[in-house]
Amino acid sequence: MIEKALKGSSVYWGWVIFLLCIIGAGFIAYLYQLKVGLGITGMSRDISWGVYIAQFTYFVGVAAGAVMLVIPKYLHHYTKYAKVVVFGEFIAIAAVIMCLLFIVVDIGQPMRMMNVVLHPTPHSMLFYDMIVLNGYLLINIICGYNTLLADKKGLPCPRWVKPVIYLSIPWAISIHTVTAFLYAGLPGRHFWLTAIMAPRFLASAFAAGPSLLVMLLLFLRKVTKFDAGEDALQNVARTICYAMIVNFFFMGMEFFTAFYSNIPGHKATLEYLFWGIGEYGNLVPFMRACIVIGLAGIFILLVPPIRRNPLWLAIGCACVFLATWIDKGVGLVIGGFVPNPLEVITEYHPTFPEITIATAIWAVGGLILTILYKVAVSVREEEQRI
Amino acid sequence: MSMDRRKFLKVAGLSTLVGLGSSGAFELLKPGRVDAEMEHGHHHGEHHEKAEETGPKTRLAMLIDIKALTREKAEKIVHTCHHLHNVPNWGDPKNEIKWIWEDEFEHAFPDSYNEYDEILEHSPFLLMCNHCDEPPCARVCPVEATFRRPDGIVAQDYHRCIGCRFCMAACPYGSRSFNWLDPRVMLKKEMAKGRKLNKRFPTRMRGVVEKCNFCVERLAEGKKPGCVEACPDVMHFGNLADENSNVRKILRERVSLRRKLELGTKPSVFYLI
């Protein structure tokens, strides 16, 4: 089946080579980081996690988003998602691989990575994160591959795959819950120490993952013979809209608790992120843009006549994807470190090699997704010919 | 391999304490208590039972006398510690490594800051690892590279640490430093300018986390922690679990503060004010 990725137009190969070039540049930057140390990044004693862990957190959400298609299809037998589910699962595969890569590039001694397995530590949330992420990758490879193979052969999916698909539902919830627990269980980091962290992570995940899917499906409809179907697209868009509203509602609750209680520690990070503290405020434009873009996305996806226009649908999804990315991929992780435990403010400025490495991991995700989607589209096109 | 090393450290540390206790040079533990502490060697039935009745375990603690602390003394303590542990001086806050450092009351106790207490406001404070009884850093570490020893020291295994920096996010005191760059490169530069390396303590590699270790390597040799030796009138070190210890005697007489008690970490560093 995978051989279908080897036959493509010159545009397809041009895109693949473009991604490979970015990956190559990132690889060189990573070799430099391995040689010199993480000091080549913008991270510091005060901001000890940066772009890498922030991207990791965001893409765990993107991966978990696939479940928004699996639930209607397999629990409610919503057949209009039948052709689309595999595209969601493939996003999950690409996103989880990106997450694992972001962890690898973030740790100071990657050659000791297997210590996590050699010395299993059940009191560390990272131990569970390792299990759920790798498990989710495996589950999605099994489900995605087998459902697509069955479609290709024109047979129903093998019966043993069904339980694995059902397992993928709680598992998707678990990956983002455990990732939220990485943050929400730390004393002395007021911004992260909130019980609503996991629910908010899930809400933003269910907006982010499917919005990427809708954009990709619209793109596929334009450039290939595969059409996901208008009903499927519209319904995913509704899901995204609800999830994004819940996400912003949760965010509003964080504001209420912090500002009505008037406790300085709880207010500090929100003040830093949205208004700036004193001379420090380099994330303020990002966070304000997040609110505006996110609200625009909600509006576009909420109003039926606008949502039914494919161009607006794509723009609405892009808004949601971008807003959730700023929220989680920029503000959440960096914000947790500002101010630091001594209530001193240090700002974070990612460096060029750091961004090159992060971009390369995006490109790896893009490449995996390109190959998987090429295969899936080829299978679907064959189906439609028959 | 690492497991063996850790057990060795525990046993080595504790057997040293036996030596210290019996010599009487430095009051830490009574020999009977030490036996109770030993995880594997409890064959001294009588002492062992007695120790178990009295219950408390060893819990090493540091008292910092703020009234006796001056900026000169603080500088001397920091210098001594960083020399003893080959801590490089990067000279910039981004890459800096610090085991103990001078800071202000406002930063040491951000939640208890009292703008009307002008004495405390202008006093120098020394900040370091609190060797918490319930250390969040050890709880989050995915490889047990940082762990609480039975004597209360929160230790760091530089050979197991994978450099994920989860402990740095978890520590509510900002006490942990990461080797963003190769510390040996900086030490070499400093040595060219006349810095002496302490050959009795290892240098670290880049990509691992480090912090104050209560001078566990000196305790093993029967010495006091470096900061205590540098300024014995400011730094007091002893066993909190022993009600007759030097530190308990001082705590009975003086008012003391501990950082962020509300977080439940139970710090073992006390500030005498």
Partner-chain contact B171 A341, CB within 8 Å? yes
pLDDT of residue B11: 52
Domain spanning A2-385: CATH superfamily: Formate dehydrogenase/DMSO reductase domain (1.20.1630.10)
Count residue pairs from A and B with Cβ separation < 8 A: 146
Contact A186, B140 (CB under 8 A): yes
**A window 252-271, beta carbon within 8 A of B:** 265
Share of chain B above pLDDT 70, in %: 79
Omega within 30 of 0 (cis) for the link into A187 = no
Q: Using the structure block, give the residue that is written with the tokens 């510091």.
A: A44
Within 8 A of A105 by CB-CB distance, chain B residues are: none
Instruction: Report how far residue A116's alpha carbon sits from residue B152's, in angstroms, rounded to the nearest whole number.
Output: 24
Nearest CB neighbour to B162, from listed A41, A109, A344: A109
Partner-chain contact A186 B162, CB within 8 Å? no
Does pLDDT of B1 surpass 60? no
Within 8 A of A118 by CB-CB distance, chain B residues are: 143
Partner-chain contact B180 A37, CB within 8 Å? yes
- Distance (Å) from the C-alpha of residue B39 to the closest C-alpha of chain A? 20
Q: Using the structure block, give the residue that is written with the tokens 């050699």.
A: A118
Q: Using the structure block, give the residue that is written with the tokens 């566990």.
A: B216
A86: amino acid identity, one letter = V
Token pair of A381 as six digits: 């096109």
Token pair of A200 as six digits: 């908010």
pLDDT of residue B24: 38
With a cut of 50, list the residues of chain A below it in pLDDT. Answer: none
- Residue A292: name the closest of A274, A311, A265 by CA: A274
pLDDT of residue B122: 85
Within 8 A of A50 by CB-CB distance, chain B residues are: none
pLDDT of residue B119: 80
**A window 42-71, beta carbon within 8 A of B:** 43-46, 48-49
Instruction: Report how far residue A198's alpha carbon sits from residue A204's, in angstroms, rounded to the nearest whole number.
Output: 10
Interface test with A, best of B1, B4, B143, B147 (most A CBs within 10 A): B143
Partner-chain contact A36 B181, CB within 8 Å? yes
Q: Residue B243 contacts by C-beta under 8 Å, 6 or more apart in sequence?
A: none
A71 in helix, strand or coil? helix
A35: amino acid identity, one letter = K
pLDDT of residue B191: 94
Token pair of A329 as six digits: 């991929």
Interface test with A, best of B115, B159, B177, B178 (most A CBs within 10 A): B178
In this prediction, residues B60-78 reach a mean pLDDT of 95
Instruction: Report how far residue A94's alpha carbon sits from residue A144's, in angstroms, rounded to the nearest whole number.
Output: 12
3-class secondary structure for A47-95?
CCCCHHHHHHHHHHHHHHCCHHHHHHHHHCCCHHHCCCHHHHHHHHHHH
Within 8 A of A127 by CB-CB distance, chain B residues are: 142
Q: Using the structure block, give the residue that is written with the tokens 């319930």.
A: B134
Within 8 A of A336 by CB-CB distance, chain B residues are: 169
- Distance (Å) from the C-alpha of residue B222 to the closest C-alpha of chain A? 32
Q: Using the structure block, give the residue that is written with the tokens 């219950």.
A: B55
What average pLDDT does chain B have? 84
Does pLDDT of B160 surpass 70? yes
Sorted by where each begins, the domain ranges of chain B are 2-272
* Range name among B100-109, B113-122, B170-179 with the lowest pLDDT average: B113-122
Interface test with B, best of A124, A132, A190, A333 (most B CBs within 10 A): A124
| Other beta carbons within 10 Å of B179 | 28
- Residue A125: name the closest of A65, A62, A197, A64 by CA: A197
pLDDT of residue B50: 45
Across A179-189, b (16+ Cβ under 10 Å) vs e yields: bbbbbbbbbbb
Token pair of B115 as six digits: 């703008």
Within 8 A of B260 by CB-CB distance, chain A residues are: 187-188
- Distance (Å) from the C-alpha of residue A254 to the closest C-alpha of chain B? 20
- Residue A307: name the closest of A376, A370, A242 by CA: A242
Does pLDDT of B154 surpass 60? yes
Contact B195, B187 (CB under 8 A): yes
- Distance (Å) from the C-alpha of residue A72 to the closest C-alpha of chain B? 36
pLDDT of residue B39: 40
Partner-chain contact A107 B169, CB within 8 Å? no
- Structural element, H or E, at residue B61: strand B60-65
Nearest CB neighbour to A186, from listed B170, B178, B209: B170
Task: Note every long-range contact of B39-43, with CB atoms under 8 Å and residues 24 or more positions apart, other chains counting.
Answer: B39/B10, B39/B150, B40/B11, B41/B11
pLDDT of residue B57: 82
Distance of CA B213 to the CA centre of its chain: 4
The second-level CATH assignment, the architecture, of B2-272 is: 2-Layer Sandwich (3.30)
Q: Residue B99 contacts by C-beta under 8 Å, 6 or more apart in sequence?
A: B81, B82, B85, B87, B128, B129, B177, B210, B211, B212, B213
CB hemisphere CA count around B206 (13 angstroms) = 18
Interface test with B, best of A51, A57, A106, A121 (most B CBs within 10 A): A121
